[in-house]
Structure 1
Amino acid sequence: MKVLVSGGAGFIGSWTRRELLKRGHQVIVFDHQDRRHQLADGEEFFLGDVRDATAVTEAAAHADGIIHLAAVLGTQETISNPRPSAETNILGSLNVFEGAAQYQLPVVYAGVGNFWMRDHGTGSYTISKSAAEDFARMFNAYRQGGRITIVRPVNAYGPGQSVAAPYGTSKVRKILPALTCRALTGTDIEVYGDGTQVSDCVYVEDVARAFVTALEYTAANGPTEKPVEVGPAESCTVNDIASLVAKEAAQVTGREPVGVVHLPMRPGEVPNAVVKADVSTLQQIGMSAADFVSLEEGVRRTVDYYATQWLPGFIPAA
């Protein structure tokens, strides 16, 4: 297949493209950032924004399937400024679904991994991503050509994920880069809340495999009956993750493990939250969480990446 990957220049998009190429597919990278210089053999680039219905439809005309990853991310970031997430995550997704329906293309939509938050302190990210899920179900039920499978990964992490301030330029703070950069620089890890909240993480390579497998399934069989939830077989707390990161960073740097500092929770975060996946849904596409990279191994690979690729070039602010 020739697969259009919206948001293909991003973190998960880059890993998904590699998985597609590994399986012999061709790739159209659809992104609003011009990253054509990063293309590999078998890839082409389409500069565009999912909010532009004409651009999306034109790109869809050249594809055999779509993996829709483009989104505005963030919890408190989208609460303080919800309009961009509504425009991209809802209207942008509608443009993708319309373009795919016009050409009867199979679609995999990256749904909301923290679906639990929909009923427990909903922020704009969850609202907008959940709304697009509802539209996907509408297209499947009532629109000719509706062939959309929803795939919900929990917190994806791994090499290449962007780093937020004060260690990088990303506007969105993600858990593994935030913890890892502090630990590698000898700074105590900051955890919001008491750290007992469940916040499952899944290695990005496994997420990419799930997206591509789901698209291949949908192309052959139509959409899955239920959303496919992608996460680890065993859950963990934020304190568990922090402890693993501190331990791995200490082994890399040769220093004593850093400590953990607990801070007040931020807007959009809920005490005793449970962000986890129903991994039994993976069976719909012939996958099992038992085959995923373990958290211990994933954290080791991730810490090693930041230690070798990020830390040497990091210059602390004056």
Structure 2
Amino acid sequence: MKVKKRVTKGARLYLLLSLFIIFISFFMLKNVVSYTEPIEEMFINHPLTEKEIEKVQVVRIYDIEKVELPNEKQDFYIIEDELGYHMLKSGNAKLDEMAEEASKLSKARPFENKLFLLKIRVIPEIKRGRRGRKIVKISPEMQQDFAAVFQKSNLAKKKEREAKNDTMLAYTYQLAHLKTDLYFDEFDEIDLWFEIGKGIVVLIVGLGFLVASGKIIYHNYKNYKELFELFPEVQGHMNLLVENAEYVSKDFALLVYKGHIIIHADEFYVESLNKIRGIRKFKKSYRAIVEYYLRVKYKNSDEPYELSIGSFAGKRYVDDEKWLEENYNILVEL
């Protein structure tokens, strides 16, 4: 058995988890930055594409009309955008104003010379869930309602009427029919705060693991410092502890050296046996995982100190427990 100085002993898993979780949180918060990016810059830097499903995007509106859908309580709008005709779900008063303004103009694409931009999400008809399950976003009935409302809309009639005198417009209108396999949902600032909240919660969890690992490293550092002050000869020659030990337990990662108990399992611990009135092994179970600990209790305190000694089979290491009990009064009920 070898004993090496490792101040990160017992903290490495926490440290790894904390760094991984903090990285994930930064990635989540980095995505939030795009939500707060000025809408004009998003429009220039990230052109709208329907393939980027359920991401915040920017769409330019050329024409808009407010409509009602059967069995739907929320307002919908038919919009003509740079990709064609879509449904937009929103309750924003600004859209009501835009629809009212567009209705007063007789020409096709009334906002063609104005830059009307909206942050939106693209809601697909079908999204694949876990294990190939399909989650339907737009029912066939809603698709039919979309198409029926679009055909009866003033926006469609206006385009048809003006297309009669414009061959190019008629050709464009025929190609750019209503997309019933997806609709747009206006981005809400509440969504932004929700995304920020998720990122912060994940960051807090990561920082919690980081603090836990920091505490273990700090305790290890203090105990190593105390060991080297007590026994300068072992600094740089840690294996002298094993070679000159009064007792060695490889399974418990425990040894006794010059009247001091030293545990170098998941954490590093050193203490004079004169200060200890009891040591007891116990276990903590979580489903199929069993982890064993040593609980050290001091003569001048009722507050025990617990050290992890790893996951062991329950019926092994009888000799080690017997030594702890017989040599240092371990039978004290802690």
Question: TM class, shorter-chain normalised?
Answer: under 0.3
More strand by share: 2
Tell me the TM-score normalized by structure 1. Answer: 0.22
